[in-house]
Amino acid sequence: MAFYLQKQGHEVGLMDIDICGPSIPKIMGMEGEQLHQTSLGWEPVYVEDNLAVVSIGFLLNEPNQAIIWRGPKKNTMIKQFLKDVYWNKLDYLVIDTPPGTSDEHLSIVQYLKQTQPEGAIIVTTPQEISLLDVRKEITFCKKVGLPVLGVIENMSIFICPKCKTETKIFPPTTGGAIKMCQEMEVPYLGSIPLDPLIARSCDQGKCYVTEFPNSLASQAYNKIFKDLINKIQPQDPKSQ
Amino acid sequence: MAFYLQKQGHEVGLMDIDICGPSIPKIMGMEGEQLHQTSLGWEPVYVEDNLAVVSIGFLLNEPNQAIIWRGPKKNTMIKQFLKDVYWNKLDYLVIDTPPGTSDEHLSIVQYLKQTQPEGAIIVTTPQEISLLDVRKEITFCKKVGLPVLGVIENMSIFICPKCKTETKIFPPTTGGAIKMCQEMEVPYLGSIPLDPLIARSCDQGKCYVTEFPNSLASQAYNKIFKDLINKIQPQDPKSQ
């Protein structure tokens, strides 16, 4: 999402509030980078001129280090990310949360209440065991008054690279994300097929959609993100 | 693991301390069951005569309900599970945690310190993005003095049901769990192939290994669990 917005020419900030398992530095290819203190505040790490990233991963001395923190300490860190980072001008701030409905989620919603965030994008896989958690996350959003922009179904099908047979690796035993979205009355945004090159791109810190623009999954990502942007900002001056 | 031990004739307790995303009731086929208060304490839900389960999922009024709790409240719940559940005699207590190194993990380690738990079993997938988190979890175990019984690599390969081609869906770009275990000096327990029937069994609340005993994944599970039990209790009187 952040990559997509950045490629559209927007000024994008990406904030990783998964304190105990920050993966954004790796995915963005910026592992080993550090946040720097300036007179204006913490300076984020720039992936591109118009894509700036903040993550606790940039504060670790070595990548295996564990952040063994209870909730209150995590909340303080999130507050600091919001208060003390000097972002320059931003068109979009994308926030990556861990799964669940606990401290990180309560804190970010509470701290951002005044700014009226556009909403939450929720990712699931097709099987019921994932949807079970996602339903709770949607209930959370409704309770705290955060709009649900929609649900993306990830890892929907796998196409054998040899014989092209489609397999539903995580079977949608209760109807998958589409049916769940109908039941919970939230928008269904689309499905992404499972492509081993996605995991590989993440590991290599590369943007899968740029690397493999013609893949089925890239086409799905692009459609989903395009629809989302139109939904958030139908009158965006830059796209006119 | 709990199913395996139960089938060996042991008295097994299974405690789900994923407070915000409890999936054990669903996986065990016991959704909709309730914990009951007795004069001796909370009575767990019995899946079999010798397999008793405790989860916050058994305290919810409806399955979509979100537990929107910060750390301290989660910690109180975990303490109650440990103090107030009347388990009868147990040979093994298996505890399922959420991923990470936060409140749940600190609390359970702290509360069980006196009982000297056998150790932690850690599950990963092969790609670096997962191993990154798992390394942190291993560092956590070492810091708090909890032995790491070993690491299981899940979703290692997928075999196309039509042409039998093997695909590494989550590619082990840095050598997978085996190499990580060597580097971190913890035991590698084995790999489980990705089988859509595993997710289906979980969704249906059935034991995959019982349903599909001859599958590659069942064979892998059985070998891993057998080795683990031998490791934990080489002189188990029941198995002699």
User: Three-class SS string for chain A?
Assistant: CHHHHHHCCCCEEEEECCCCCCCHHHHCCCCCCCCEEECCEEECEEEECCEEEEEHHHHCCCCCCCCCCCHHHHHHHHHHHHHHECCCCCCEEEEECCCCCCHHHHHHHHHCHHHCCCCEEEEECCCHHHHHHHHHHHHHHHHHCCCEEEEEECCCCEECCCCCCEECCCCCCCCHHHHHHHHHCCCEEEECCECHHHHHHHHHCCCHHHHCCCCHHHHHHHHHHHHHHHHHCCCCHHHC
In a domain, B84, yes or no: yes
Tell me what percent of the residues of chain B surpass a pLDDT of 90: 94
Please indicate, yes or no, if residue B240 is contained in any of the structural domains: no
Query: Is the minimum CB–CB distance between B110 and chain A shorter than 8 Å?
Result: no
Across the interface, do A136 and B184 touch by the CB < 8 Å criterion?
no
User: Which residues have a Cβ under 8 Å from the Cβ of A163 and sit 6 or more positions away?
Assistant: B160, B162, B163, B165
Among A117, A138, A170, the domain boundary falls at A117
Instruction: List CB contacts of B123: < 8 A, sequence separation 6 or more.
Output: B151, B152, B153, B154
Residue B239 has pLDDT above 50, yes or no: no
Mean pLDDT of A98-112: 97
Q: What are A151-177's pLDDT values in tens digits?
A: 999 999 999 999 999 999 999 999 999
Q: Is the pLDDT of residue B240 over 50?
A: no
Q: Which residues of B touch A21 (CB under 8 A)?
A: 99-101, 132-133, 136
Average pLDDT over residues B24-30: 97
B127 with B214, same domain: the answer is: yes
Q: Is position B238 within any domain?
A: no
Which of A23, A68, A161 lies closest to B132 in CB terms? Answer: A23
Determine, for residues A68 and B21 on separate chains, whether the beta-carbon distance falls below 8 Å. Answer: no
At residue B234, the pLDDT reads 54
Same domain, B207 and B165: yes
Q: Is B237 inside a domain boundary?
A: no
Nearest CA in chain A to B75: A70
Sheet order of strands, A45-48 included: A45-48, A51-55, A12-16, A92-96
Comparing alpha-carbon positions, the chain B residue that sits nearest to A162 is B165
Residues B82 and B162 in one domain: no
Pair (B129, B110) in one structural domain: no
ipTM of the predicted assembly exceeds 0.90 = yes
**CB-based contact (8 Å) between B199 and chain A?**
yes
pLDDT of residue A232: 87
Specify whether B143 is located in the same domain as B110: no
Q: What is the CATH number of the domain that holds A222?
A: 3.40.50.300
- Given B27, B71, B160, which is nearest A160 (Cβ)? B160
Boundary of a domain, candidates A52, A83, A117:
A117
What residue in A sits closest to B25 (Cα-Cα)?
Answer: A129
The distance of B4 to chain A (nearest Cα, Å) reads: 21
The tokens for A3 are 């990559």
CB contact under 8 A, B161 and A165: yes
Instruction: Check CB contact of A71 with chain B, cutoff 8 Å.
Output: yes
The verdict on A129 and A212 lying in the same domain is yes
Please say if the pLDDT value at position B64 is more than 50: yes
What per-residue confidence (pLDDT) applies to A234? 53
* Domain shared by B77 and B36, yes or no: yes
Averaged pLDDT, B220-230: 96
**Residues B126 and B104 placed together within one structural domain of the fold:** no
Asked whether the beta carbons of residue B169 and residue A169 sit closer than 8 angstroms, the reply is: yes
Q: Which of B64, B127, B142, B186 has the most A C-beta neighbours within 10 Å, making it the best mutation to test the interface with A? A: B64
Q: Which of B57, B90, B117 is the last residue of a domain?
A: B117
Residues in chain B with CB shorter than 8 Å from the CB of A27 are: 129
| Nearest neighbour of B162 by CB, restricted to A72, A163, A203 | A163
Say yes or no: A66 contacts chain B, CB-CB below 8 A.
yes
Mean pLDDT of B148-161: 97
Which domain covers residue A97, as residue numbers?
A: 1-117
Q: Is B132 on the interface with A (CB under 8 A)?
A: yes
Do B103 and B211 reside in the same domain of the chain? Answer: no
Cross-chain Cβ contact A101/B129 below 8 Å: no
Write the CB contacts of A235 (distance below 8 Å, at least 6 apart in sequence). Answer: none
User: So what's the pLDDT on residue B233?
Assistant: 74
What is the rounded average pLDDT of the residues A74-93? 96
Q: Is residue A240 part of a domain?
A: no
Q: Are residues A129 and A42 in the same domain?
A: no
Number of separate domains in chain B: 2
Interface contacts A/B by beta carbons within 8 Å: 185
pLDDT digits over A28-54, tens only? 999 999 999 999 999 999 999 999 999
Nearest by CB to A106, from B23, B68, B72: name it: B68
> Would you say residue A94 lies in a domain?
yes
- Are A139 and B66 an interchain contact pair (Cβ–Cβ within 8 Å)? yes
| Residues A161 and A145 placed together within one structural domain of the fold | yes
Same structural domain, B34 and B69: yes
**Residue A239 in domain:** no
User: Does B31 fall in a domain?
Assistant: yes
Query: Whole-number mean pLDDT of chain B?
Result: 95
Nearest by CB to residue A70, choosing from B102, B162, B169, is: B102
